[in-house]
Amino acid sequence: MFRKILIANRGEIAVRVIRACREMGIRSVAVYSEADRAALHVQLADEAVFIGPAPAAESYLDMDRIVEAARTTGAEAVHPGYGFLAENADFARRLEREKLVFIGPNADALELVGDKVRARRTMEKAGVPIIPGMKTTPADVAEFETAAAALGYPVIVKASAGGGGKGMRVVDAPGGLAAALEAGRREAKSAFGDASVYLEKYLEAPRHVEFQVLADKHGRTVHLFERECSIQRRHQKIVEESPSPALDPRLRAAMGETAVKAMRAAGYDNAGTVEFLLDADRNFYFLEVNARLQVEHPVTELVTGVDLVRRQIMIAAGEPLGLDQESLAQRGHAIECRIYAEDPARNFLPSSGRILALEEPTGPGVRNDGGVYAGWDVPIYYDPILAKLIVWAEDRERACDRMAAALSDYVLLGVRTTIPFLKDVITHPAFREGRLDTGFIGKHFEGWAEKPPDAETVRLAMAAAALSEATGMGRSGADASAPGPKSAATPWTSIGRWRMGGE
Ligand code: MV4
């Protein structure tokens, strides 16, 4: 087993990996940018190495700085978390050359699944159902026109190097195809440095159901059941759960077997996810492989009891999985809500600033995966996820009740967050009934506005504002060092910073 691991990430996922290291008796090395000098992951790691300026391209994405940090600290392995370098095959290869272990899949598998068109060909050959569509990326518009006519409109333009929605365009009729191809190519080129696009038949309002897989380096591959991830906004997941309310045991078994087959066909090892779209007739289609630990991994951990980060580390160290499919089961129901520093009333505009108060909910079946603390300034440079709230209960209804109560208990002041929006999602009748598809947010939450705060909430906010002025904790940035409160500190002038309700 490794003695020391470097975590090439920040925020809640860096904290999650550090905790796994600590439990396993492995020393942890954090890396941090200028904006993260005081970040939680830096405080919790055994060692921390400064790697550069705030922009990710000059720090968390800079392979040279990360390799150098691993070298100077004597780390033997690197955990990439999610995002940043997590699915970068060049990074995996670079680490290999440097005799460092990448805690993730082998570089060949990473490369294969990163090329969506190549992955589709591999999956089709392996007998995995793929969405009807093209398996090449021609440059000639005429070839696209022929393919689209054969598929029937609507079709969707996708980037071959893509994933996550970038470069995608839905085309309803032949007249829109040329412009969509042009726009898709441009977006793909700028996002991935590769303009290759292809077409698929467009499925209306499918469900997004993904299967967690673990594969060791000795040929054993198992799945840890599914996560339902249909609650998304602009390709950003908001709420995830396991089990999916859409699956029955037969469909679950069929999809699980298919997920294992897909990963075997890709020559995959370590933790990964096979994404499927599920249509209204309950046909499922391979969408893509996410070659990383995912944000929503905790719901799988809570229903299966398997620590996925620990397993990732063991697999990377060459240990056999020691789990068989028959010994794995789903027990109860888990739901995750992502707490973002975004203002849901202002089109999810990122909200930066100082966290003035933080009280995470607790209680039976409540888990917090957080990356922040009260008094810390949320930087503008990175993904605005602050924390994840995950609950477990015996069944879905009780899990919904538990999540609603936990969200109500959540105190996070100083920046706007998605908490009030999440409360309304969890308590929405369609959500309670499990009527979910990828159009859920658009259908039920277009132009969402927060309910006005009740009197108790207003009293609390005023008291907190008064306390903030008295202690000076509320002042951040340039004026934080100025002596004493400058202006008349009435709760009425500062309540805006504390506001928990709407306008
Ligand atoms: C699709 C689709 C419908 N038909 N492909 C969005 C992210 C990317 N990974 C794939 N995505 C989609 N691909 C076909 N042929 C609809 C989506 C999609 C979606 C997928 C999963 C979760 C949320 C989504 C929201 C909008 C569109």
Q: Which two tokens stand for residue 134?
A: 């093209």
* Residue identifier of the C-alpha nearest atom 5 of ligand 1: 202
How far apart, in Å, are the Cα atoms of 253 and each of 165, 256, 257, 259?
28, 5, 6, 10
CA 276, CA 39: separation in Å to the nearest integer?
A: 36
* Residue identifier of the C-alpha nearest atom 23 of ligand 1: 438
Q: What is the pLDDT of residue 474?
A: 56
Q: What is the pLDDT of residue 488?
A: 37
Low-confidence ranges of the chain (pLDDT < 50): 477-503
Judge contact between 191 and 167, C-beta under 8 A: yes
* Residue identifier of the C-alpha nearest atom 11 of ligand 1: 165
- The whole-model pTM stands at 0.91
Q: Let me know if 103 is exposed, middle or buried by CB neighbors in 10 A (0-12, 13-18, 19+).
A: buried
Instruction: Return the residue matching tokens 């202690």.
Output: 471
Judge contact between 283 and 224, C-beta under 8 A: no
Ligand 1 pocket check: which of 208, 226, 234, 443 to mutate, most ligand atoms within 8 Å of Cβ?
A: 208
3-state class of 134 per DSSP? coil
Q: What is the pLDDT of residue 117?
A: 97
3-state class of 153 per DSSP? coil
Q: Can you give the length of the chain in residues?
A: 503
CA 190, CA 344: separation in Å to the nearest integer?
A: 28
Instruction: Return the residue matching tokens 């005799």.
Output: 99
Q: What is the pLDDT of residue 479?
A: 44
Contacts of 413 (CB under 8 A, 6+ apart): 355, 356, 357, 358, 461, 464, 498, 500
- Number of helices followed by number of strands (H, E) in the chain: 17, 22
Q: What is the pLDDT of residue 503?
A: 29
Amino acid at 137: T
Provide the sign of the torsion angle of the four alpha carbons 435, 436, 439, 445, taken in this order. Answer: positive
Q: 464, 89, 141: which is closest to 266 by C-alpha?
A: 89
Q: Using the mean position of ligand 1's atoms as its centre, give its distance from the Cα of residue 159 in Å.
A: 12
Q: Using the mean position of ligand 1's atoms as its centre, give its distance from the Cα of residue 187 in Å.
A: 17
Q: Using the mean position of ligand 1's atoms as its centre, give its distance from the Cα of residue 394 in Å.
A: 31
Atom of ligand 1 at shortest range from CA of 232: 23
- Name the region of 52 (left: φ>0; alpha: ψ -120 to 50; beta: rest): left
Judge contact between 195 and 188, C-beta under 8 A: yes
Judge contact between 175 and 145, C-beta under 8 A: no
Which residues' Cβ are closer than 6 Å to ligand 1?
131, 156, 163-165, 200-203, 206, 208, 232, 235, 277, 287-288, 438
* Residue identifier of the C-alpha nearest atom 24 of ligand 1: 438
Q: Which residues are catalytic?
A: 292
Q: Using the mean position of ligand 1's atoms as its centre, give its distance from the Cα of residue 307 in Å.
A: 29
CA 71, CA 439: separation in Å to the nearest integer?
A: 47
H or E element, residue 157: strand 155-159
* Residue identifier of the C-alpha nearest atom 25 of ligand 1: 438
How far apart, in Å, are the Cα atoms of 21 and each of 6, 18, 162, 313?
10, 5, 32, 9
Q: Using the mean position of ligand 1's atoms as its centre, give its distance from the Cα of residue 390 in Å.
A: 25
Cross-strand partners of 158 = 198
CA 44, CA 118: separation in Å to the nearest integer?
A: 41
